[in-house]
Amino acid sequence: MLDTVILTCAVTGNITRPDQHPGLPVTPRQIADAAIEAAKAGAAIAHIHVRDPATGKPSMALELYREVVDRIRDSGTDLIINLTTGPGGRFIPSEHDPKIAAPGSTLVPPEARVEHVVALRPELCSLDLNTMWSGTAVVINTPANVAKMAKLILDAGTKPELEVFDSGDIHLAHQLIKDGVLPTPALFQIVTGVRYGFAGTPQTLAYAAGLLPRDSAWAAFGIGRMEFPMLAQAFLLGGHVRVGMEDNLYLARGKLTPSNAALCERAVSIIDQLGGTVATPKQARAMLGLRTPA
């Protein structure tokens, strides 16, 4: 186990819906405020998606990312900003012709998926390595497109957080590292509980962690009711942890969480009871080898 672990809060995501929780952050102000509150509750990193303020639906708009980032940076908090690059990778095949995109497809060129990272230069951003079925869509991250995104991310001075959903994603990461596309030491985020990916079980997490490059830092999280059990498993196996309303909307069975901060407070309590402490943003930067923010 690590004595000090990094807690990430994923405050809104792109799957959870406002009708599922009236307090889900939607506007740039709400998203930034949720991230700042999470930092006060113990999170060192905020993982950021943005949404259309009028509809609550996921967005890729640069101006929305810019407002969230500016609000966090201007708040005086030392929070590490981690922007998503996941949106823009979904393809839904039409029933009449599967090579034609059906409504709801979001597939765009890789350059468009990292436009906000290039412009805003966060310390971290996610980089998905998965190609898999997700609901009614196929998430597509080809090795060639991942390589293009990685170059733009690294040129911006940002460290990629490698999101892995199944064992093949980790094998791809090994190859990209071997080819010089991704630098080491790498940072991985093991995603558990997404259907057709890694299961949210202790055995699966131990297996996944064992596949990672030896010098890597890693974190893991669970979806839904497995959020806190998998947090404990990640800590016990020597990984960092993540909670947030992107992954889970409940503080306990049948009880909606009042906020992202409440999830962070529960996470800090679990880590404390297991004998650990959560890292400050300054400690997290040193642990992950991040550049000092401008």
Domain count, the chain: 1
Residue range 165-191, pLDDT digits in tens: 999 999 999 999 999 999 999 999 999
What is each CA distance from 239 to 10, 117, 220, in whole angstroms?
17, 26, 7
Q: Which residues of 194-232 are buried (b: 16+ CB within 10 A; e: fewer)?
A: beebbbbbeebbeebbeebbeebbbbbbbbeebbbebbb
- Confidence band (pLDDT; 50, 70, 90) for 292? confident
pTM over 0.75: yes
Residue 185 CA to residue 217 CA, distance in Å, equals 7
**58: which strand partners?**
51
Q: Report yes or no on 11 lying in a domain.
A: yes
What gap in Å lies between CA 76 and CA 15, rounded to an integer? 30
Angle between helices 227-236 and 202-211 (to 10 degrees): 50
CA distance 239 to 108: 33
Question: What type of residue is 121?
Answer: R
The residue with tokens 């930034």 is 32
Residue 52: CATH number of its domain: 3.20.20.70
Whole-angstrom distance, CA of residue 139 vs CA of residue 91: 6
- In this structure, is residue 294 part of a structural domain? no
Any domain includes 293: no
Residue 97 located in a structural domain: yes
- Residue 105 within any structural domain of the chain: yes
CA 125/CA 141 separation, integer angstroms = 16
CA atoms within 13 A on the CB side of 268: 17
Q: Which domain holds residue 283?
A: 4-288
pLDDT recorded at residue 293: 66
pLDDT tens track for 89-126: 999 999 999 999 999 999 999 999 999 999 999 999 99
Query: Do 109 and 74 meet the contact criterion of CB atoms below 8 Å apart?
Result: no
Closest CA to 160 of 173, 141, 171: 173
pLDDT tops 90 at residue 132: yes
Rounded percentage of the chain residues whose pLDDT exceeds 90: 98
pLDDT over 90 at 23, yes or no: yes
Cβ-based burial of 101 (10 A; exposed 0-12, middle 13-18, buried ≥19): middle
pLDDT in tens, 26-77: 999 999 999 999 999 999 999 999 999 999 999 999 999 999 999 999 999 9
pLDDT of residue 282: 96
